[in-house]
Amino acid sequence: MLRPLNYNLNLIYRCPQCQTPYWFSKSEINKGLAFICCGSSHKLAGISDIRVRCYYDQDIDDKVISILRSYGYTLEQIKSIPIEANSTEDYVKQFLASQK
């Protein structure tokens, strides 16, 4: 299974007067761009960082889930930590280490 190398996303802004949405990329935003709507110029605040987390549900096998549940973790907690592991044991070890 392939995993993404990178992401490409736009951020959505709204004109405060008419609520029309406008889409901009991070690089457009950081050029000090402003958009004009309703006769006003709306300047966009610069962005230093955007973080995107990918969760791969199918990578957490049932064995990992049952082991971590026996330690008292909920499924939500188990899925909240992105882990790249080669085996069930490795996954459990990394998860437990991330909880300290």
Q: What is the CA radius of gyration of the chain?
A: 21
Of the two residues 33 and 85, which places its CB atom closer to Zn ion in the complex? 33
Could you say which of 34, 38, 50, 96 contacts Zn ion (CB under 5 A)? 38
Of the two residues 12 and 18, which places its CB atom closer to Zn ion in the complex? 18
Could you say which of 9, 10, 14, 17 contacts Zn ion (CB under 5 A)? 17
The residues, any chain, with a CB within 8 Å of residue 2's CB and separated by 6 or more, are none
Give dist(CA 41, CA 49) in Å, integer. 24
37 binds Zn ion (CB under 5 A): yes
Could you say which of 11, 13, 15, 85 contacts Zn ion (CB under 5 A)? 15
Strand partners, 43: 34
22 binds Zn ion (CB under 5 A): no
The dihedrals phi and psi of 15, each to the nearest 5 degrees, come to -65, 125
96 binds Zn ion (CB under 5 A): no
Neighbours of 1 (CB within 10 A): 5
Residues forming the site for Zn ion (CB under 5 A): 15, 17-18, 20, 37-38
